[in-house]
Amino acid sequence: MIEANGSPALTFRRVSKIYDQVSGDGRFALRDVSFSIPSGEKIAVMGRSGSGKSTLLHLAAGIDVPSRGEVLISDRNLGTLSERARTLLRRREIGLIFQFFYLLPHLSVGDNVALPEWIAGSSPSEFKGRVSELLERVGLLDRQNDNIEKLSGGETQRVAICRALLRKPRLLLADEPTGNLDDENSELVMNLMLELASSEGSTLVYVTHSQELASLADQVWHLHSGALEAS
Amino acid sequence: MIFKGMLALFLVLQMAMAGPEWKVAEPDFDWSFPRDHWAHSGYRTEWWYFTGQLTSREDPGRRFGYQFTLFRIGLQPEPSRLDSRWATHSLIMGHAAISDLEGRRHLFSEVLYREVPLLGGFGAPGDPLIAWSLPPAGGEEHWELLWNGEAFDFHMSDPERGMALDLLTRPAKPLVFQGPDGYSRKGKPSSAASQYYSFTRLQTDGTLTVDGKRFQVEGRSWMDKEFGSNQLAENQVGWDWFSLQLDGGQEIMLYHLRDRGGASDFARGTWISKTGEARYLEAGDWSVEVTANWTSPATGAVYPARWKVSLEDVEYEIVPLLAGQENRSRLVLDLNYWEGAVSVLNSEGEEIGQGYVELTGYGANNRPPV
Amino acid sequence: MIRYFIRSTGAHLRQAPSLFLLTVCGVALGVASVLAIQIINRNAIGAFSAGIQAISGEADLSVVGRATAFDESLFPRVLGMEGVAAAWPLYQVDVALAERESFFLQIYGVDLFSSFRTPWSTTPEDLSEVVSEPGWMAVSPALAREMGWAEGDSIQVTSGTRRVDLVIGALVDFQKMSPLASRKMAVMDIAQAQGLLGTAGLIHQIDVRLREGSDREQLKGVLQQRLGPSVQVVTPEQREKQAADLMGAFRLNLTALSLISLFVGLFLVYTSTQASLLRRRTEFGLLRSTGATSNQVLGLILGEVVLLGAVGVLLGLPLGYGVARGNVEMVSSTLTNLYLLQEIDSLEFPFSLYVLAAGVGVGGAIAGALFPALDMSRRDTRALLSVTTLHEKVSSAALPLFVAGWLLLGLAGSWFWLWGQAWKPSGFVLAVAILLALPLLTPFLILKVCARIRVRGFNLAYALKTLSAQLQNTSFASSALAIAVSMLVGITLMIGSFRETVQLWVETTIQADIYITTPSWRAEPEAAMDQELVRQMGAHPGVASFEALRRIFVSTGDKRISLAGMEMRLAAAGQSRFPLVEGDRLNLLQQLRDQGAVLIAEPLARKSGLEVGDKLPLYGPRGMEEFPIAGIYYDYSSEVGSAAMDLATMQEHFGPAPINSLSLYLEADRDPEQVIDELRARFPGIPLRMRSNQHLREEIFEIFDQTFSVVRILQVMSLLIAVCGIMLTLLVMARERISELALYRALGAGRLQIFRVFVGKGLGMTLIGLTLGTVGGTVLAAILIYIINRAYFGWTIQAHWPGWPVAQQYATILAGALLASLYPAFRASRTPATELSRDDI
């Protein structure tokens, strides 16, 4: 079990995730993982494909539920929550950033950022300012009304970061955020992410392949066949 | 020539019964001439039957036999009251045949129409026209039978077959009743009878057309007129009828009806003297023996084709002048009969007269329906 | 590959039975509609020619009246013509059964003693009875069985006001010889038919057989010359063609509608195929990655499509037959009501129709599935195997298609303006252009509309905005719905306008209080009423005045029209009973009465290009005569042309005509229903149909609605199919957009929210379809009313928006779409967020 300092934003207690196989045996995507991440920490998770990184993030986000063990976000046990409650929790507490960006082509830049607030049902006046603020922070305020097709990969991911941070989530989860970017943009995006996470007070957990990018974090963890090791 | 019309009737119509409404032949019919030459509606059947032998004036070697018949076939005793010009209570049927003895051919033409003003009809006593009809399809000249004051004139034409007759007759002898007072019996039941008279010798001339070629002809004819309403008895299938004109100026008329086995069921005859007196013959008074046969290639019927007639100790040999004188109707189902010109020979084989023979009910097809 | 095909097909069908079912249904419905209409079309003609054949046998030529009947004395003239081998006359009259007034027997009066050979050569037992037994007739054994008749039974019928007892003299199987012949055929002697049931002096037809080797055409000419202008000498093929022409417009419309149904059926196949193929994307990816070529994959897909198509055909064939059967009655009565032709009695379809339908089914299935199949088989392997990205290339084709759509409209419009107006079917070209343009315009319109939408929340507006993301699917579904709605709206508008126009017309022309006719008049337009009876009814207490209508059929040379003769005077209300399109109202009566002029109906004027001042040629007993046209009046009672003239003129030129119907104008205080009862009591036993003004109007609209019901059926069918399209498209979108849905879930959207968005998508597509369809439908209605109608029928139709029926239809469609969206929305809402970035395949 790996201990970290501060009151935990995210805690895993002996979490295992088992997928059924055709042969009848279960495959352990995660095996008995336990950790506790204090607020404000930045954790990098590394591991090969199939090592369970995405699964970890899914469980952390409440998108999926563990087969065994417990997941706690801000000391709330996700296992005790209904699917709906988990969804609502996710709205409030979690921001997600994906490898493939996942911006919607039919929405403008600004609208893409605003999407989580729409989902939450807030009225535009409440979040309009925040959208502009975030976009300015990533240097894309002038592109607010543009179609996202016009953005480069790096710019797109920056917009995604804004979206993820729109609602001031406690926990920011990023799945290979620079996986689809070239080196230059990777660095830019990574720095932005870290900086914004700090300034917003979010805890950041990101999955990466790159040793170099991982070294930017406070801690680097390794996942190997579903088990967590500290580096 | 007795049942010709009646059997034709059966074959055409399969009449069920002589309805009580039809007038029947009576022994005491009130004859009146010339009125009775015209049609008698009210009787079921009636016909005017002409047969004869003619020679061409231009070419005396060219001999012909001919037949011309008009039938009235009653459908109901009283005229129809329907408001329609197609309404009718009888049919008019016509048969005409020419036997071209030199060309060895026999031609037959026929018409059948309902008696309506558009298609054919019968005149009223006193009209010049006794009967008329449209010709077969494709032609325009009517078939006609007229009273010329003394005897009959008649015309027929059939352009498609290239056949026509246009003949005038004058009586060489007065008319004669066939049977006492014109009452002629056909079978054992008393209902089987008709009113029957003949002109047994008519001087004939006019024109005859065969193959489109017209001949001026002259010769002798025989005319039968009959009307009645009765039916053949169940067992009678047909008859043989002979009309013979002897060179000596006498005529003989014989008929007998045959049963299914071919035996004679009923027979009668008439001997007409030179002066026109009629003597009626019973079955036992005469006999006939068939000495040859002829099979029709078209119908397969086997007809007698030569006879020895024995009458009051005189023997006559009757020889057809042409074998295939069979009439085959295309308008009426199964109506086929043999009607042909014959020569009368004495026992030495010399020609002593001429005549016509009619044979009906021969062959598998040719049965009156039961 | 074949083995794989066999094994996999079964698995697929089990996995997604609904998709399989929808494909099969799409094919079945397309096949059924095409087959049903083709059957009805063919049999409509067939019934006509079979009727002739059953009686006439193999005639080489027929002599028919230019109008209906002609002088029977022409018969000997035909017989006398060289080259004629046989000829037989025919008198035809339809009579109503006294017990079942809407059941008509077709009586053929023939001369059974003519030298002829009919197909039914079973000669009756006793031919003399045919002539002598009053009312003797022969019917088919099938009819006897159906009606419970036996030989010897007496059957009472009515012809005009005559009541006649007929007797079943024999049972003859007409249908054995001519299977399409109506079972209601009966044969009588011509004298009986004419004398008891019809008019003396006239016959309807003379059939002629020519001598072998004759030159038919030459003899036809000679005969025509010989017989004069009151008749036409035609070959059997010509008669069929005349009937076909008459029904041409009707059949064309039916065919057009069936093709549209087919198209919509194909659409169903397209979407369901696409949906099912998308499900199996990874399977195809695997096949390709193990070495299958794209052609092999294509073959696999098409093979399955052919199989499904075959199943669809098997379902569609009996369905089509059933629909044809079910609608024969109604189509048949249209034919008799409007076109005075034979009823269709039984349905026969040659093998070739089956082959056609099967071809349509399988071919259609392939056509519908081809695009998705090609698309799927040509995608590269990686694309098939990898996770779908949310980045779909925004359809850059939207603008070019839009332009193409306008180009099409422009071309069609200019073609029509410059050349098309002279060509009769040009209206259909325009209509097709509109329907084709709709799907071309839709994608761009969707893009533009969606771009303008300002979203403020995860709501309906958002749902609408997402439509532009999957243009390929959404525009397809929207445009299919637009097409269906166009048809629906267009036809509804047309029918509504037409009905309204007829309503107005009825109010103007149906002025009398009581209308009297005979039961057989419906089938036999020349059925007569007894003169004395008419006089007595006219003199009945309470009757202020009456009008006797005499109507005969005459020929204008190239068409047959009905000609009404009446005493021309102003009706009681002071209005002309002929509301005029054109004509000098002041001098009209004088022209009609003194100058022997005619009034012609609008359809006749339009179709023949006649105007006031022109002359109308009519063939009567004296040959061809011309009548000056004094006016053109509105007439919606039939599409077959009609004209009217003063009674004196008619009698002078055409002879005395029978009275067919009677109108009574009552005194102010008399109740029509009561007077009807009085008349019934006064004339018991006389077959009469008496209707008050009110009832007559109701009946007119019953017939009207009946005529258009065929159209409605097809509308419903296409609508159903289009709504299914919405469901399928949404299902496809639920699958294809799975990542997007997962994203929403990841971002915290609840299931209900996703459900609502999806329903919103469905409603959005529907709204777009409805809007486009309304526009398209309005234009279509205009084309139908002002172009197609004018070309084929010639009526003036006042455009009128039947607001309520249209609103009802829209509500139905929206409700249907809503329902159709529920299941896909449900499926969509169940998308777990884990669908995002799975790294296992």
Rounded-to-integer distance, Cα C687 and Cα B170, Å: 61
Q: Do C462 and A118 touch (CB under 8 A)?
A: yes
Q: Do C833 and A116 touch (CB under 8 A)?
A: no
Cβ–Cβ under 8 Å, residues B342 and B318:
yes
Residue B43 C-alpha, separation from nearest chain C C-alpha, in angstroms: 14
Cβ–Cβ under 8 Å, residues C62 and C396:
no
Residue B164 C-alpha, separation from nearest chain C C-alpha, in angstroms: 16
Please name the residue of chain C whose CA is at the shortest distance from the CA of residue B114. C113
Q: Do A106 and C450 touch (CB under 8 A)?
A: yes
* Tens-digit pLDDT profile for residues C88-117: 898 988 888 888 767 888 888 888 777 555
Mutate to test the interface with C, among B11, B17, B82 (most CBs of C within 10 A): B82
**All chains having 3 or more CB pairs closer than 8 angstroms to chain A:** C
Distances (CA, A) of C251 to C39, C236, C388, C433, C712: 11, 21, 49, 21, 15
Interface of C with A (CB under 8 A): 387, 389-392, 394, 450, 455-459, 462, 465-469, 739-740, 743-751, 753, 832-834, 836-840
Please name the residue of chain C whose CA is at the shortest distance from the CA of residue A63. C833
> Is A160 part of the contact surface with chain C (CB cutoff 8 Å)?
no
Chain C residues in contact with B91 (beta carbon < 8 A): 113
Please name the residue of chain C whose CA is at the shortest distance from the CA of residue A169. C747
Q: Do A91 and C389 touch (CB under 8 A)?
A: no
Q: Sorting pLDDT into bands at 50, 70 and 90, what band is C78?
A: very high
**Closest CB to B137 among C79, C125, C195:** C79
Residue C762 C-alpha, separation from nearest chain A C-alpha, in angstroms: 17
Q: Which domains does chain B have, with CATH numbers?
A: 4-16+35-360 (2.40.370.10)
Q: Sorting pLDDT into bands at 50, 70 and 90, what band is C349?
A: low
Q: Do B76 and C131 touch (CB under 8 A)?
A: yes
> Is A84 part of the contact surface with chain C (CB cutoff 8 Å)?
yes
Chain A residues in contact with C749 (beta carbon < 8 A): 87, 119
Mutate to test the interface with C, among A56, A93, A106, A146 (most CBs of C within 10 A): A106
> Is C301 part of the contact surface with chain B (CB cutoff 8 Å)?
no
* Tens-digit pLDDT profile for residues C455-511: 888 888 888 888 887 787 788 788 888 888 888 888 888 888 888 888 888 887 778
- Residue A68's domain is classified under what CATH number? 3.40.50.300
Q: Do A106 and C750 touch (CB under 8 A)?
A: no
Mutate to test the interface with A, among C390, C391, C747 (most CBs of A within 10 A): C747
**If we measure between CA atoms, which residue out of C388, C282, C384 comes closest to residue C739?**
C388
Please name the residue of chain A whose CA is at the shortest distance from the CA of residue C753. A119
Chain B residues in contact with C86 (beta carbon < 8 A): 137
- Interface B-C, measured as beta-carbon pairs within 8 A, has a size of 90
Q: Do B114 and C85 touch (CB under 8 A)?
A: no
Q: Sorting pLDDT into bands at 50, 70 and 90, what band is B49?
A: very high
Mutate to test the interface with B, among C111, C128, C212 (most CBs of B within 10 A): C128
* Tens-digit pLDDT profile for residues A86-137: 888 888 888 888 877 778 877 889 988 988 888 888 888 888 888 999 999 8
Q: What is the mean pLDDT of residues C567-589?
A: 68
Cβ-based neighbours of B159, under 8 Å, separated by 6 or more: B135, B138, B139, C82
Q: Is residue A83 part of a domain?
A: yes
Q: What is the mean pLDDT of residues A132-157?
A: 87
The lowest-confidence range among A54-58, B9-13, B161-165, C705-709 is: B9-13
What is the ipTM, given to two decimal places?
A: 0.86
> Is C195 part of the contact surface with chain B (CB cutoff 8 Å)?
yes
Q: What is the mean pLDDT of residues C297-320?
A: 84
Mutate to test the interface with B, among C70, C131, C197, C226 (most CBs of B within 10 A): C131
Chain C residues in contact with A115 (beta carbon < 8 A): 458, 747
Chains C/A: 3 or more C-beta pairs closer than 8 A?
yes
Residue B155 C-alpha, separation from nearest chain C C-alpha, in angstroms: 16
Q: Do A118 and C458 touch (CB under 8 A)?
A: yes
Tell me the sheet residues that pair with B360.
Answer: B337
Q: Is residue A180 part of a domain?
A: yes
Q: What is the mean pLDDT of residues C774-803?
A: 85
Chain C residues in contact with B75 (beta carbon < 8 A): 127-128, 131-132
Instruction: Indicate the average pLDDT of chain B.
Output: 87
**Closest CB to B82 among C113, C127, C195:** C195
* Tens-digit pLDDT profile for residues A163-204: 998 888 889 999 888 887 888 888 888 888 888 888 888 899
Rounded-to-integer distance, Cα C371 and Cα C363, Å: 13
Domain encompassing residue A192: 8-105+164-230
Longest dimension (CA), chain C: 99
Reported residue count of chain A is: 231
Please name the residue of chain A whose CA is at the shortest distance from the CA of residue C830. A83
Q: Do C456 and A124 touch (CB under 8 A)?
A: yes
Q: Do A106 and C739 touch (CB under 8 A)?
A: no
Chain B residues in contact with C160 (beta carbon < 8 A): none
> Is C85 part of the contact surface with chain B (CB cutoff 8 Å)?
yes
> Is C212 part of the contact surface with chain B (CB cutoff 8 Å)?
no
Q: What is the DSSP string of C262-328?
A: HHHHHHHHHHHHHHHHHHTHHHHHHHHHTT--HHHHHHHHHHHHHHHHHHHHHHHHHHHHHHHHHHH
Q: Is residue A143 part of a domain?
A: no
The predicted pLDDT at position C370 comes to: 80
Reported residue count of chain B is: 370
Strand A227-230 with A219-224, pairing: antiparallel
Q: Which two tokens stand for residue C476?
A: 């397809």
The predicted pLDDT at position B42 comes to: 87
Mutate to test the interface with C, among B12, B45, B85, B86 (most CBs of C within 10 A): B86
What are the helix (H) ranges across C467-587? 471-509, 531-538
Q: Sorting pLDDT into bands at 50, 70 and 90, what band is C366?
A: confident
The predicted pLDDT at position C123 comes to: 40
Q: Is residue A205 part of a domain?
A: yes
Chain B residues in contact with C128 (beta carbon < 8 A): 13, 15, 75-76
Q: Do C191 and B82 touch (CB under 8 A)?
A: yes
Q: Do A58 and C456 touch (CB under 8 A)?
A: no
Q: Is residue A36 part of a domain?
A: yes
**All chains having 3 or more CB pairs closer than 8 angstroms to chain C:** A, B
Helix (H) or strand (E) holding B341, with range, is strand B336-345
SS3 string of C192-251?
A: HHHHHHCCCCEECEEEEEECCCCCHHHHHHHHHHHHCCCEEEECHHHHHHHHHHHHHHHH
> Is C80 part of the contact surface with chain B (CB cutoff 8 Å)?
yes
Q: Sorting pLDDT into bands at 50, 70 and 90, what band is A5?
A: very low
> Is C190 part of the contact surface with chain B (CB cutoff 8 Å)?
yes
**Backbone phi, psi, residue A194, to 5°:** -65, -45
Q: Which two tokens stand for residue C6?
A: 């066999």
Residue C226 C-alpha, separation from nearest chain B C-alpha, in angstroms: 13
Please name the residue of chain C whose CA is at the shortest distance from the CA of residue B92. C113
The predicted pLDDT at position C53 comes to: 59
**Neighbouring C-beta atoms of residue C210, cutoff 10 Å:** 22
Cβ–Cβ under 8 Å, residues A53 and A220:
no
The predicted pLDDT at position C47 comes to: 60
Q: Is residue A173 part of a domain?
A: yes
The lowest-confidence range among B291-295, C341-345, C723-727, C762-766 is: C341-345
Q: Sorting pLDDT into bands at 50, 70 and 90, what band is B163?
A: very high
- If one counts the domains in chain A, the total is 1
